[in-house]
């Protein structure tokens, strides 16, 4: 009796014919019924009539299976509803089956659950708002940068420029590229911190990845008189998100070039460290890093004194790379000493390629087009400055005829009438957006074989991945790199010719 009285919740003993044989003081205190009243009641009288069938079923389950539990509201004499968790077990007393059980008030737990759900919804709404903000800011910042960097690159190709004019344009380009890197890194860091990082894990052959990375870094390395080299077995591969891994490698290579000595060297290498892990090394012959500073390297906005040098940077790149690699179940680190250079490494799950050589790619045959026949390129874009920029860039390809349309409806009509060899398509179009426009093109027999190149200020990684998955022949983010854009246009026009041949 003393043990029953000391129980914190409700205690009850019920007969097979649903009569209370025993109960504690707590049942009377909580329900408001007297001992005499409870003794004349069925257990079902403590529940809402809508719960009677469910509670009766649980009582029967207990008698049949030996034990059961249920969550239900206990209804007091005054009509108050209190959430309870009941659990019971079958016992035999003097040869008769009985149900012995306890009930626990879970009102506080329910309040916590409601608060937790509300907090979760608030956090999700805030995260969605932050993602929308980041996407919008990326687009709004990149659109003017497209004109600044694009027209500066065009001006740079003018042979009539004086040395002073060329220096001025170089300064515009350097400042523009620095601002673009800053925009990219801040948006990336904010996206990672908001937990909205999406990855597409696949087998990534090292040979093809290294070739791409060195191709992107070659011009910068030559400008700084740095020799780049690569060492990799063509059968080595890792499991990773290709785009994000490339981003991390480019960051390490860029640092190795920027912080190196003149005429220094940078080596990119892949080395298996076990049967399941592969290391990608970026080794340089730079000044090295003091041991005391190594722990600060991967912290945001840490440049270890380089902020006072002439080398531009934000101090965000390594922190972003660390987040990206760790999100791919990998690791990143560095070995360095003053005067001995630095070796940064990325470690990821290891795979072997099925075939040798860099990534397979479809290389179209050279165009057999008549040199006097112009190739038609249709640009569907609502921003006049972007149309003017592309018109000026394609002016360097005199055999191209540029057509333009300011919205999707007009663009589709022009595509049907003109049958262009290549379509350049903005994503954020008024009315029908670029993805819907691509779907309408692909639904037409005449439009299925026309390569469509997306040009967009929607430049987050998932924007690019979504575009390529949708069927764009390629996806170039704004601001456009003029030389990459021209190379891509040439490649897609050659592909168009091979399809139509």
Question: What is the tens place of the pLDDT at every residue in 15-27?
Answer: 988 899 989 989 9
The DSSP bridge partners found for residue 104 are 85
On the question of a cis peptide bond just before residue 313, with omega within 30 degrees of 0, the verdict is no
CB neighbours of 152 closer than 8 A, spacing ≥ 6? Answer: 169, 172, 173, 176
pLDDT on residue 258: 86
Q: What spatial distance separates the first Cα and last Cα of the chain, rounded to whole Å?
A: 96
Task: Indicate the angle between helix axes 461-470 and 242-258, nearest 10 degrees.
Answer: 130
pLDDT on residue 1: 56
Residues 165, 156: contact at Cβ < 8 Å?
no
Between 70 and 143, the higher pLDDT residue? 70
Task: Decide if pLDDT at 281 tops 90.
Answer: yes
Q: Token digits for 376?
A: 């038609």
365-399: pLDDT as tens digits: 333 344 456 789 999 998 888 888 888 888 888 88
184-238: pLDDT as tens digits: 766 666 666 666 566 778 888 998 889 888 887 887 888 888 999 988 776 788 9
The torsion of the CA quartet 77, 82, 87, 92, rounded to 10 degrees, works out to -10
pLDDT on residue 344: 93
Classify the C-alpha dihedral 301-303-307-313 as positive or negative.
negative
pLDDT on residue 78: 93
Residues 397, 391: contact at Cβ < 8 Å?
no
Q: What SS3 state is found at 174?
A: helix
Query: For residues 337 and 269, what is the distance between their CA atoms, to the nearest angstrom?
Result: 20
Q: How confident is the model at residue 362 (pLDDT cuts 50, 70, 90)?
A: very low
Query: For residues 462 and 299, what is the distance between their CA atoms, to the nearest angstrom?
Result: 25
477-495: pLDDT as tens digits: 888 888 888 889 988 988 7
Task: Decide if pLDDT at 242 tops 60.
Answer: yes
Cα distances (Å, whole numbers) of residue 384 to 136, 407, 480: 20, 12, 15
Between 141 and 236, the higher pLDDT residue? 236
Average pLDDT across the chain, whole number: 82
Q: What SS3 state is found at 408?
A: helix
Question: What size, in residues, is the chain?
Answer: 501
Q: By C-alpha distance, which of 439, 328, 432, 453 is closest to 379?
A: 453
The structure tokens 């957006």 sit at: 433
| pTM for the structure as a whole | 0.46
Query: For residues 398 and 402, what is the distance between their CA atoms, to the nearest angstrom?
Result: 10
Beta strands in 304-435 (DSSP E): 331-336, 342-352, 375-380, 400-405, 422-425
Q: Token digits for 84?
A: 């309870």
Strand-strand pairing, 452-456 and 20-23: unpaired
Q: How confident is the model at residue 360 (pLDDT cuts 50, 70, 90)?
A: very low
């Amino acid at each position: 009796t003393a043990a029953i009285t000391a129980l914190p919740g409700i205690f009850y003993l019920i007969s097979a014919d649903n009569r209370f044989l025993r109960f504690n003081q707590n049942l009377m205190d909580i329900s408001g019924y007297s001992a005499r009243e409870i003794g004349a009641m069925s257990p079902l009288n403590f529940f809402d009539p809508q719960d009677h069938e469910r509670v009766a079923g649980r009582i029967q389950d207990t008698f049949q299976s030996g034990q059961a539990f249920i969550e239900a509201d206990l209804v007091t004499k005054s009509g108050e509803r209190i959430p309870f968790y009941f659990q019971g077990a079958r016992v035999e007393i003097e040869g008769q089956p009985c149900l012995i059980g306890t009930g626990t008030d879970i009102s506080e737990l329910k309040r916590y659950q409601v608060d937790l759900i509300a907090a979760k919804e608030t956090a999700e709404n805030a995260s969605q708002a932050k993602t929308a903000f980041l996407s919008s800011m990326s687009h709004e910042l990149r659109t003017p940068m497209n004109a600044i960097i694009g027209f500066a690159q065009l001006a740079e190709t003018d042979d009539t420029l004086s040395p002073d004019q060329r220096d001025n344009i170089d300064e515009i380009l350097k400042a523009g590229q620095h601002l673009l890197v800053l925009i990219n890194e801040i948006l990336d860091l904010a996206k990672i911190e908001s937990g909205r990082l999406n990855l597409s894990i696949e087998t990534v052959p090292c040979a093809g990845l290294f070739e791409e990375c060195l191709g992107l870094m070659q011009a910068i390395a030559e400008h700084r008189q740095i020799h780049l080299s690569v060492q990799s077995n063509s059968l080595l591969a890792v499991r990773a998100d290709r785009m994000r891994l490339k981003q991390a490698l480019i960051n390490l290579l860029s640092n190795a070039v920027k912080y190196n000595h003149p005429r220094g060297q940078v080596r990119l290498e892949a080395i298996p460290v076990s049967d399941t892990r592969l290391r990608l090394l970026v080794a340089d012959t730079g000044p090295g890093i003091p041991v005391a500073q190594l722990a600060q390297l991967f912290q945001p906005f840490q440049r270890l004194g380089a902020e006072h040098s002439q080398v531009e940077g934000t101090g965000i790149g390594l922190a972003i790379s660390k987040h990206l690699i760790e999100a791919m179940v990998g690791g990143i680190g560095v070995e360095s000493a003053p005067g001995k250079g630095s070796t940064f490494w990325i470690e990821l799950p290891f795979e072997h390629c099925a075939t040798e050589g860099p990534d397979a790619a479809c290389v179209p045959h050279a165009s057999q087009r008549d040199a006097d026949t112009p190739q038609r390129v249709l640009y569907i874009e609502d921003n006049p400055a972007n149309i003017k920029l592309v018109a000026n860039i394609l002016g360097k390809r005199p055999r191209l005829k540029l057509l333009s349309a300011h919205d999707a409806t007009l663009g589709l009509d022009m595509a049907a009438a003109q049958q262009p060899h290549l379509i350049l398509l903005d994503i954020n179009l008024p009315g029908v957006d670029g993805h819907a426009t691509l779907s309408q093109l692909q639904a037409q027999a005449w439009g299925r074989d026309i390569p469509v190149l997306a040009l967009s200020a929607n430049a987050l990684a998932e924007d690019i991945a979504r575009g390529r998955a949708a069927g764009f022949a390629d996806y170039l983010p704004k601001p456009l790199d003029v030389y990459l854009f021209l190379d891509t246009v040439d490649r897609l026009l050659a592909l168009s010719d091979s399809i139509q041949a």
